[in-house]
Amino acid sequence: MQSGAKYMRARLLAAVCLTLALWLAAFPAYAAGGVYRAELDGEISEYMVNYLERAYDEAEAADASAVLLDLDTYGGYVTAAVSIKQIIMDAELPTYCYVNDKAISAGSLIALSCDKIVMKQGGSIGAAEPREGDEKADEKVVSFWTAQLEGAAEAHGRDSRLAAAMSDSTVTIEGLSEAGKLLTLTAEQAAAYGIADAMVASDAEAYAALGIDRADITEVAYSFQEQASRVLGNSVVATLLLTVGIGSLVLEVLFAGVGAFAALGVTALALYFIGALLVSYTAWIAIALAVAGLVLLIMEIFVIPGFGICGVLGIASIIGAVICVAPSFSVAMLQLAIALAVAALLVAISLKCGRTRRVWSRLILKDATSTAGGYVSPPPTINHLVGKTGVALTDLRPSGAALIEGKRTDVLTEGSFVKRGTAVKVIRVEGSGVVVEPQENAV
């Protein structure tokens, strides 16, 4: 009996172990020791910061052995790259980087921050000079960015001078870069000079060089919010949305009453600011400024005639909102300059359009005091009327008409009311104005 009971317990334990093994096999994402793979391609922007923070949180929660960054980028924003570097450096897990073609500009800092780098044959890394628009950034920015690259390289035993030469054209490396030229390394050069740990010909070789079993890789997919912010936050898309938004509102003013342009403009501006809101909840401040600006401009256009304080405050609010959500002040100025240039072009074109000319005509005084229009100028010389007397033909309140020297003459008093039929005397002439006073008050 005892042996039978032991046999049953052994069978039960074996069944439990088998069930546990099958359960672990069915859910490899939660098995300890796996590698979490995050894909960084395209423009380096703030959405990637949120994406990587989530990737590392998931990897640490799953007790993963490492995080693998699949990198292919021409660069992006300095602030986003520095934030990503800090995430990598602060992580408890080791980070491997597979440069799957190129790690240019901001991508160089991300790659250098990783514990291991493998590069695909034919790929490149470097050309990391910080820029503001089409111009090189000022000396402070270049110095800061160069120090970031050097620090990342030194932290992993790589040549910091090579890293510095990628961002500062004054740093020269014999046989690699000349004075005035930024350093860009091929995959073969990067491996030869110790920037990369290996050069590979395929993804399979990359995983083998890093000691990763493909079956142990867990993909970190982008969430819907991250995908949306990736599209809306793209520098080209954001500039296009801002341009369409402002341009459409200008067209709505020119083609007053159409409505379609207003709807398009508000939608484009809403998407522009939603893109920022998806990345950072502090964008609510910018959205509040933008809404206030639109309300003030609507009041200026449709409620308060002329261009006054509401118009100035409305434009200032929208500019402030764009500055708040843009990655940098220079980017904000560039986006606004493009949008306003397009708006100015639309205004110029509208002047040639018959329908918009009617709108512009409302802002221009076109009436002329011509004889054909029923206007009669006063006699060229009326100074001789001073001292003459006459009779008020109408009540003078204070202006009206009087009969002087047998002629009907437009007159006015100095503010007093004079009843019709009262005798009046001309006391002075001011331009074309004849000033009179009641006869009984004359001296």
Say whether both 206 and 264 belong to one domain. no
pLDDT band at 87 (very low <50, low <70, confident <90, very high): very high
Q: How far apart are CA 283 and CA 295, in angstroms?
A: 18
Say whether both 208 and 235 belong to one domain. no
Burial class (CB in 10 A: 0-12, 13-18, 19+), 7: exposed
Say whether both 39 and 131 belong to one domain. yes
Q: Which residues are registered as beta bridge partners of 46? A: none
Question: Quick check: is 5 in a domain?
Answer: no
CB atoms within 10 A of CB 83: 17
Q: How far apart are CA 208 and CA 214, in angstroms?
A: 9
Q: Which residues are registered as beta bridge partners of 103? A: 73, 125
Q: What is the SS3 assignment for 426?
A: strand
Write down which residue in 314, 332, 353 finishes a domain: 353
H/E element holding 99? strand 95-104
Do residues 166 and 128 touch, judged by C-beta distance below 8 A? yes
Look up residue 253 and give its amino acid: V
Q: How far apart are CA 108 and CA 78, in angstroms?
A: 11
Q: Could you list the residue range(s) of the whole structural domain that residue 409 is in?
A: 383-441
Q: How far apart are CA 319 and CA 325, in angstroms?
A: 10
Among 112-121, 173-182, 187-196, whose mean pLDDT is lowest? 173-182
Q: How far apart are CA 248 and CA 261, in angstroms?
A: 5
Say whether both 341 and 399 belong to one domain. no
Write down which residue in 222, 239, 261 finishes a domain: 222
More confident residue, 231 or 199: 199
| Per-residue tokens: 3 | 């042996």
Q: What percent of the chain has pLDDT over 70?
A: 79
Say whether both 143 and 236 belong to one domain. no
Q: How many domains does the chain have?
A: 3
Question: What mean pLDDT value characterizes the chain?
Answer: 80
**Can you give the pLDDT at residue 233?**
81
Question: Quick check: is 158 in a domain?
Answer: yes
Find which of 208-217, 227-236, 433-442 is predicted with most confidence, using mean pLDDT. Answer: 208-217
pLDDT single digits (tens) 314-342: 778 888 888 887 777 777 788 888 888 88
Question: Quick check: is 189 in a domain?
Answer: yes
pLDDT single digits (tens) 52-77: 999 999 999 999 999 999 999 999 88
| Per-residue tokens: 213 | 């079993």
Q: How far apart are CA 320 and CA 308, in angstroms?
A: 18
Q: The domain spanning residue 407 has which CATH number?
A: 2.40.50.140
Write down which residue in 199, 222, 245 finishes a domain: 222
Average pLDDT over residues 92-98: 95
Say whether both 79 and 131 belong to one domain. yes
Q: Which residue has the tokens 């100015």?
A: 344
Question: Quick check: is 163 in a domain?
Answer: yes
Do residues 112 and 99 touch, judged by C-beta distance below 8 A? no
**Can you give the pLDDT at residue 31?**
37
Say whether both 290 and 318 belong to one domain. yes
Residues 6+ apart with CB under 8 A from 261: 248, 249, 251, 252, 255
User: How would you classify the pairing of strands 135-136 and 131-132?
Assistant: antiparallel
Do residues 76 and 45 touch, judged by C-beta distance below 8 A? yes
Question: Quick check: is 371 in a domain?
Answer: no
Question: Quick check: is 143 in a domain?
Answer: yes
Say whether both 88 and 167 belong to one domain. yes
Question: Quick check: is 121 in a domain?
Answer: yes
H/E element holding 404? strand 399-404
H/E element holding 184? strand 184-186
Say whether both 185 and 307 belong to one domain. no
Say whether both 81 and 185 belong to one domain. yes
**Can you give the pLDDT at residue 187?**
95
**Can you give the pLDDT at residue 358?**
47
pLDDT single digits (tens) 241-281: 888 888 887 777 666 555 677 788 888 888 888 887 776 65
More confident residue, 377 or 299: 299
Say whether both 335 and 393 belong to one domain. no
Q: 217 pLDDT exceeds 50?
A: yes
Residues 6+ apart with CB under 8 A from 151: 160
Say whether both 182 and 274 belong to one domain. no
Average pLDDT over residues 65-94: 93
Question: Quick check: is 365 in a domain?
Answer: no
Q: 197 pLDDT exceeds 60?
A: yes
Q: How far apart are CA 224 and CA 438, in angstroms?
A: 85
Q: Residue 440 carries which DSSP code?
A: G
**Can you give the pLDDT at residue 1?**
44
More confident residue, 362 or 407: 407
Q: The domain spanning residue 91 has which CATH number?
A: 3.90.226.10
pTM for this prediction: 0.65
